[in-house]
Structure 1
Amino acid sequence: MADTIASLTLSSVRLPLVTAISDAKVLTGRQKPMREVMFLFAEITTESGDGGIGFSYSKRAGGPGQYAHACEIAPEVIGEDPSDIGKLWTKLVWAGASVGRSGLSVQALAAIDVALWDLKAKRAGLGLAKLIGAHRDGVRTYNTSGGFLQAPIEEVVDNALRSLQAGIGGIKIKVGQPDWRTDLKRLTAVREAIGDDVPLMVDANQQWDRATATRMGRRLGEFDLVWIEEPLDAYDVEGHAEVARRLDTPIATGEMLTSVGEHLKLIDAGAADVLQPDAPRVGGITQFLKVAAHAEQRHLDLAPHFAMEIHLHLAAAYPGNDPWVEHFEWLDPLFDERLETRDGRMWLPDRPGLGITLSDQARAWTVAKTEFVR
């Protein structure tokens, strides 16, 4: 007889950031500085005592909504066979059908989906990447957390050099300031500090219009960038395709999209040279793998957004070109384990599943918790 899900515990965890974070959207008044990240954790236990953990997250807004929706649909998995992950994803999305199949609704069920994959890998005695089918044991990694716009350029340079010393392979900094000359000065300082051979990326966080993105992209050509990220509004598919055609520097985008269908539109339009899907945002690992399959068929580079604890495994299992994974140390306090960076790559842990366990600090930052039992 198949083992079944005996309990599911959902926790809403508020992670405070040491420094209020600003990107281009803050400097132009679209958003306020980010001071915290809200996490939704799902912990599944089976009748036989096996367990899995997964998470989703929300920045600036949406955390309480994710938690509330997850609590509404969570009873649907109790008593089910946890191995039937695709079936359970469909059951959960239909349980919340009135709020759609993208956005907050799938972000809420993503935490459960990730926990099911973690459980499945643990029961097999494998790391998640090995369960899916790893193509590499380490993935190229670049740091983002040290390059935000609230930091003076001297701090950004110091952060970049420390990241390289820690074995991280590339550096990404934020651009999109009101005065474009400030962007060029900051970028020049970073490139001079890290040298010509270190991979360097920039992220405009949806700041520019099409004409500005084209002009800035041409100005940035001298820096030999790996990519220019989100030059336009995330949902301007035609605009991203137009800019991608005009520039030699690759265009990266996709992190804000919350469904497979949205990613397919981006891919079909030729709007991304580097696709940046986010498993917690797109509905979990089940949906991420669908996006990745389409990206590989179009020979796109892959660079999943944020949540390196999940995305390291998914990038390692990508059959296409050697992908990138984004390094953020923000989540470190939430887990007892640390991921290894060495020789420009992030390496798969030898622990089963995702290889993470919640820390005492994560428990202390929990603001709401609900358990569902059989």
Structure 2
Amino acid sequence: MFEKRIIPANPLQAGFPADAATLDRIKSVKVSLAFLPLKRPISDAKVLTGRQKPLTEVAFLFAEIETEGGYSGLGISYSKRAGGPGLYAHAREIAGNLIGEDPSDIARLWTKLAWAGASVGRSGLATQAIAAFDIALWDMKAKRAGLPLAKLIGAHKDTVRCYNTSGGFLSSPIEEVLENCQASVASGIGGIKLKVGQPDPMEDLRRVAAVREQLGDFPLMVDANQQWDRPTALRIGRIMEQFNLVWIEEPLDAYDAQGHAQLAAALDTPIASGEMLSSAQEHLELVQLDAVDFIQPDAPRVGGITQFLKIMTMAEQKHMKLAPHFFMELHIHLAAAYPHDSWVEHFDWLEPLFNERLELKDGRMVVPPRPGIGISLSDQAHAWTVSSETITA
């Protein structure tokens, strides 16, 4: 289950610079595969429309990088329902390309890893595997500087507005959803997101109306998980204008940028999307077409922090708002480094993986003061690990 692989040290093959600017080198890379079981199966619209089965676990790829100088970094990627073993397999294949390299050359190393697996492309599973290494390198760089990641990048704020999703799934009856909403507000959450997109849109409207009545003017979002077609999204979107939503998320297929643009132009309610896209290039179309008001990249899905920063730069030019998907432990730093309005998504699912916890205050999440991303793997994370390999020089 746990393996160690040695990569021959050959500077010419490694392709790293040998001049005085290189201050440290990577000596080992450990990749691990773990499965986090959910407390109960959850369903969104994709399940109710028959396209997926209820979600019961999340697969995680961990990358732990160490250098000759004694520095270390932790990176994480993930997959839901399928793909976890594939991420791990690809990561194992390309990890050796980091041995002997200067860990500070993050953008160059991203490109090197992409070329190592060029035949499987620069999006999807390939970039999600690279993401774990990229995030680990950024974590290490911030630790080396003694700064939280947000401060290393350049923070625009020390707290970010925070909304909760995990209490509003369609697998929960409305009575339970209302209880979850009440508990979330009491915990310090600043917004509530509900899942919609059921085969019967009228049931969606009834659930949203019930939550709006309970919450009053409290920030409320909905997420259709790509299950509406264009006519349905426009019709239901117009009806939902009355609820004064912060946004309607993924009303259409994630790759229907033109449809999102038409919907954004037709509705007063802001449109949000981007979480299912797996490269910076795929987000470019959303930006160019003004297809969303809130762009929602997911750093592990797009290839890590290096690619996420490119998306932030593109979105900033259009004055779009930012609401990264999932993995709040990382995205709090990236959302804090965005100059325009941003939200971070609160999921407590991942908390058992880490020794640290994030702070909520007055509806906002606080950027942790710890160096790097500010997380370390818990004993539980190690207990859920099913396979691991360490690559050394």
Deviation at 1:322, TM superposition (A): 2.1
Find the aligned partners of 1:28 and 1:101 in 2 and give their Cα distance.
30
2:350 aligned with 1:334: no
* Cα deviations by residue, 1:269-324 (Å, 9 ceiling, x for unpaired): 111111000100000000000000010010000000001111000000012x2200
Letter in 2 for 1:369: S
- Which residue of 226, 236, 239 maps to 1:216? 236
Partner of 2:168: 147
* Unmatched 5+ stretches in structure 2: 1-21
Match of 1:199 in 2: 219
Q: Under a length normalisation based on structure 1, what TM-score does the superposition of the two structures give?
A: 0.99
Q: 1:63 aligns with which of 60, 84, 90?
A: 84
Q: Distance in 1 between matches of 2:215 and 2:257?
A: 33
Q: CA RMSD in A?
A: 0.7
Counterpart of 2:40 in 1: which secondary structure? strand
Q: Which residue of 2 aligns with 1:264?
A: 284
**Corresponding residue SS for 1:107:** helix
The 3-state SS of whatever aligns with 1:57 is strand
2:335 alignment counterpart:
315
Which runs of 5 or more structure 1 residues have no equivalent in the other structure? none
Pair 1:177-2:188 in alignment = no
CA deviations over 1:127-174 (Å, ceiling 9, x no partner): 000000000000000000110000011111111111111111000000
Find the aligned partners of 2:125 and 2:356 in 1 and give their Cα distance.
Answer: 28
The structural deviation recorded for 1:194 is 1.4
Q: Could you say what secondary structure the match of 2:73 adopts?
A: strand
Structure 1 stretches of 4+ moved >3 Å: none
**Corresponding residue SS for 2:348:** coil
State the Cα deviation string for residues 175-217 of structure 1 (Å, max 9, x = none): 0111111111111111111112x11000000000000000000
Question: How many residues in Structure 1 have an aligned counterpart in Structure 2?
Answer: 372
Please name the residue that 1:20 is paired with: 41
Residue identity opposite 1:58 in structure 2: S
1:344 and 2:378 matched: no
TM-score (norm 2): 0.94
1:40 partner SS = strand
Q: Alignment partner for residue 3 of structure 1, among 24, 47, 59?
A: 24
User: What amino acid is aligned across from residue 292 of structure 1 in structure 2?
Assistant: M
What is the alpha-carbon distance in structure 1 between the residues aligned to residue 132 and residue 59 of structure 2? 13
Residues in 2 aligned to 1:208 and 1:129: alpha-carbon distance in whole angstroms: 36
Q: Distance in 1 between matches of 2:195 and 2:95?
A: 38
Q: Which amino acid aligns with 1:147?
A: G
What is the aligned-residue identity percentage? 69
Which of these two proteins has the greater Rg computed from alpha carbons? Answer: 2
1:88 aligns with 2:113: no
Aligned partner of 1:363 in structure 2 is 382
Distance across 2 between alignment mates of 1:373 and 1:201: 47
Q: Which residue of 1 aligns with 2:58?
A: 37
Mapping of residues 242-281 of structure 1, within 5 Å: 242-281=262-301
